[in-house]
Chain A
Amino acid sequence: MTSFASSNTTLAPSVAPSTSSSTTPSPTDPTAFAYPALYNYPPFFTLQPILPTRHSQLLSWSLLIQAYTRHHALFSLSLIDALSTPLFHNRPLHRRLSLRDARAVIDYMCSKDGDMRAEWITTPSTASNVLKKSNPSGGDEEGGGRFWVFWRKPDEWANLIESWVDSTGQKGVVLTLYELAEGDATRGQEFHGMEAELLSRCLGVSVKRGRAQVFGAEGGEGVKFF
C-alpha cells in the first residue's frame, strides 16, 4: 500500500490527489475507473504465444492503458512504478503483468500495429527537471523507462489546443506554456496539466502547420496562435 501511494505521487505529481483514493475500484464510486471485463480474466495477465490471440490481447491492453491514463489524466508513465499500480496489478485477482510482458505491451503500443499510442522517452535532457523530481534515484532508464501514452496523439492535441484558443478568442495573443498547462483558464480542459515537454511537442505540430509561433528562451517560452 505504501509503495503504491508513493508511486502514484511520483508518477503524476501534477494530478489531483483525489485519484490516489481509487486503489481498488468500487463500482459505487462514480469517479473510480471502470475496468473492462477482461481485467478480471486471469489469462489476460499472461501474454499469449499464439499470434492472433496475442494481437487481440495486446490491443485490449492498449485500450485499457489509454482509458486508464485518460481517466487519471496521465500523460506519461514510468514502467517500473506503473507495474505496482492497479493498472498492471489486479490485487483482488492476485494477478499482475510481469515487467517483460508489460514492456512487450508498451512496445506494441509504440509500433505501427499498435497505432503509435505510446512512445519511449529516450532522451531525458529536456524533461530532466520533471524526471529528476519524479525519480530522484535515477538509473531507471534501462530497467523501466518512462513512456508517453498518447491517448491523444500530438496532432490531435494540437487540434484541441487550436480549437480551444479559437473558441476562447485568444488568437494573436501570446500565451506562455505554463499558462496553457497549469493556468486556471485551462482547468477542465483535457490538456490541463500536460507536461512541458509534451506540450512543446504538440505546439511544434501547430508551428509546422503554420498556425502558431513559438518564441522565448528555455523555460519561459511563449506561443502565439494566428
Chain B
Amino acid sequence: MFLHQLDLTTALRPSLLPEETLLFVQDAVGLYEGRFKIPQFQNGHAYLTSHRACYVDNEEPRKCSVAINLKDVERPEYYAGFLKSSPKVTFHPKPSKRLSFSTRSPSTAAGRTISSSSSSTPPERHGSPLRSLASSPAPSTAASATWICPICSFSNPVPSNFDPATANVHTPLPPCLACGIKPPLVHVVKAAISSITNRQSHVVAPIPQRAHQDKTDLSSASGSRNPLGPSASSAAFPCPRCTFQNHPSLLTCEICGASLVSIEDKRLASAKGIARSESPGPALSRLSMQDEAVESVKFSFRGGGEKVFFERLKNALVQRKWLLQSAPPVPKPNRLSGAFDDGYNSSSDQNPRDPERQKVVGIAGLERRGLERRKNNELVIGTAFEDLEALMTSAKEIIALAESFASQANLGTNGSSEASSILSQSASALGLVTTKDMLGSGSDLLYVSELSRNLAEWLTDDTRGILKREGGIMTLVDLWAVFNRARGGVELVSPTDFEKAARLWDKLKLPVRLRMFKSGLLVVQGRDRTDEKTVAALLSWLRELHHQPPASEVTWDWRLYGRGVTAQEVAERFGWSVGVASEELEMAEERGALCREQGLDGLRFWENWLVHTPEEGILTI
C-alpha cells in the first residue's frame, strides 16, 4: 500500500501528525499511477509536509484524497515537462514493497535474469526489483561527504557516524585535520546534506559492494529514465560552464566560479511556461488503493510550482523528520561543560565527572542543577539562532524550551489571561500556518484560499476552542488580532488578505462562516449556528425568567411578561462580547421575536407580546 487514505481536517487540509510540518502547497495538480492518469484525481492541491506528500481533490476532497508517506518513498524523480505534457514529480516506492511484488512475478533470481525480464515488461513499468535493490535508501551518514574548513579551506571528511537529521549541538565533531580548529555544526550539517542531495539527484550513487555488471545496467537505465540528470557515475559535479568536475560539496565551480546550485534550475526554467489543465495522457479506469503493485505515483503540476516542490521534497527526504520522533531529547546538563571541548575526549572526561555530580545533594545540589539547566538553555538558544539551518536541526529542542518558558511565564502571571494562553501555543502554531513562501506559482488566490482553510482549521480546533470561548461567535477584528498574535509575530496576515480569506469560507464549504450584521459588523461563527438557533436560545432564556422572581421589586407582572434584558446581561449569559450581543438582540428583534423598551436605565429587550397577543385584553369596539 503505497497510497494511503488521507485524514482531512475540518478545513479540508491534511491533518498533520505530531511534529509534522507543512512545507509546500500547490494547486492545479493531477495524479498519475505509472503512466496512467487516475480519474477523479486530476484537479487538486498538492501538500508537501515533512512526512508525507498529499493530494487533496478540489471536487470531492473527502473521497479523493491520498497521501504518500515519504518514508515509503525510495526516491523522487523529476520530469520537466515537454511540449504538451506537464512537469511531473514521480515517487517510486521502497523496495520492501517491491520485493513482495516480485515474489508474484516468475523471475526472482538476481542479476541478468531480472534485467532482461524488466526489459520485457512495458516501458512505463520502469521500476524493476533490481533497480529498487540497487539504490536502496542510502543511510544519511554521508560516508563520502567532506566539509571545507572555513579557516584553512582544507577538505575534511565528515565523520562516518554523523547524521544530519539527528545532529545537534552536542554531537561531537572532530576538528579540522589541517589547522585543528573545530568546525561549526551548521557547516558540517550543510556539507552532509548537500552531499546526500547530490547523490540522490544523481539517482545512482556508487555502491561499492555491487557487481560491476549491475552498475552498468543501472546507470544506463537511469540515464534513459532521467535524461536531465547529469551522467552520474561518480559523486563529482560537472560545472555547467567549464565542465570541470567539482566536488559535490562545493557550491561554486572551483575553476570558473559559476554557481553550481542553480544548474538544474536554469534548465527547468525553460519548461516552466507549459501549463494547462487537461492532459492528453491515457487514464486509468479506477484507482486501486490496495494494490500492492503500485509502480510509481506521479504528481503532475499543471499550474507550475513543480520545481520548488521537488526541491523541498528532496530536502524532506534528506532530513527525514519522521525519524525525529525517536530523536535524542534535550541534552543532559552534565554534557554541557564538555560541549566546546574536543568532541573526541569530551566523552572520556564525562565519566569521572558523573560520580562527582552525584555527591552534591540538598539545596546545593538543587542550585547547581538549576544553574546547569540555565546554562544549557542559554547555550541551546544561543547556537540555535545563529543560523536558520541550525534552527531547523534543533527545532525540536527550541520548541520544547519555548513551551516550557511559556508555561513558566504563565505560572508567574497567574496564567489567567486567555491571550497569553494562546500566545503560549504560538510555537506549535508555527508549524500549522501556511506562509507565502510555502506556496508555489505565486498565485495570490492560492495563498488566500490556503489562509482561509488555515483559519477555519484554527477556529474549529477543539484543543484551542477559540470560538467556543467566545460563545461561538466573535468579531472578525478580534479574530484577526488573536490570529496574528498566535502567529508569534512572524508572517503576519494583512487585514485585506484576512478579510478575503474569511469571505472564501462560503465558497470552500468550510465549517465556519462570515456574517455581516445590519450595522456592517463582521463576525465569525460556526456554520451550524443559524439565526434560528440563536433566537431560540434567547427566547428560552427569557421564558426561564418567567419563573425566576426579579432581583428587585418590579411594577409589572413578571409571571406574565418575565423581564427585559440588556445587551450586557445577554453578553454575560451567553459569553458573547457586548457588541455581538446587541447585534444578536437586534437580529432577534428584526425577526419579531423580541421587542425593545427604551427606559431610563437603557435599552432592554423583551419577549415580543406586541405581535403575539395583540388582541389579548383589548376591548372590542
Contact = CB atoms under 8 A, between A and B. Distances in A.
A64 interface: yes
A41 B609 contact: yes
Contacts of B592: 50, 52-53
B596 A42 contact: no
* Interface size, B (range): 20 to 34
Interface stretch (A32-40, A124-132, A203-211): A32-40
A125 B349 CA distance: 119
B551 interface: no
B609 A38 contact: yes
B363 interface: no
Given A40-B556, A41-B556, A59 B614 contact: yes
A44 B616 CA distance: 13
Q: Chain A interface secondary structure, helix, strand, loop or mixed?
A: helix
Contacts of A151: 621
Contact of A42 (B589, B599, B611): B599
Contact of B610 (A49, A56, A67, A95): A56
A46 B600 CA distance: 11
A112 interface: no
A45 B613 CA distance: 16
Interface residues of A, number: 32
B213 interface: no
Interface in B578-597: 589-590, 592, 595-597
Nearest to A63: B618
Given A50-B592, A57-B610, A38 B598 contact: no
B580 to A, nearest CB: 19
A94 B601 CA distance: 12
Given A48-B595, A49-B596, A42 B564 contact: yes
B346 interface: no
A93 B556 CA distance: 6
Nearest to A66: B621
A92 interface: yes
Contacts of A36: 616-619
A70 interface: yes
Given A46-B596, A49-B596, A53-B595, A38 B611 contact: no
A39 B613 CA distance: 12
A60 interface: yes
A50 B564 CA distance: 17
Contacts of B621: 63, 66-67, 70, 151
Contacts of B611: 52-53, 56
B610 A44 contact: yes
Nearest to B605: A43
Given A37-B617, A38-B609, A50 B589 contact: yes
B101 interface: no
A56 B596 contact: no
Contact of A43 (B555, B596, B613, B616): B596
B561 interface: yes
A48 B595 CA distance: 7
Contacts of B617: 35-39
Contacts of B557: 40
Contacts of B599: 42, 46, 95
Contacts of A53: 589, 592, 595, 608, 610-611
B560 interface: yes
Contact of B560 (A35, A37, A57, A92): A37
A41 B599 CA distance: 13
Contact of B590 (A40, A50, A94): A50
B604 to A, nearest CB: 8
A90 to B, nearest CB: 8
A161 B619 CA distance: 24
Contacts of B604: 42-43
A60 B555 contact: no
Nearest to A59: B614
Contacts of B564: 42-43
A185 B590 CA distance: 54
B243 to A, nearest CB: 83
B606 interface: yes
Given A41-B561, A43-B597, A94 B555 contact: yes
A57 B599 CA distance: 17
A41 B589 CA distance: 16
A33 B596 CA distance: 27
A42 B597 contact: yes
9 contacts: A36-B616, A40-B557, A43-B564, A46-B596, A50-B595, A53-B592, A56-B610, A67-B619, A93-B555
Given A37-B613, A49-B596, 4 more contacts: A42-B604, A60-B610, A60-B618, A151-B621
- 8 closest cross-chain pairs (CB), A and B: A37-B617, A36-B617, A43-B597, A67-B619, A36-B618, A46-B598, A57-B610, A56-B611
Interface of A: 34-46, 48-50, 52-53, 56-57, 59-60, 63-64, 66-67, 70, 92-95, 151
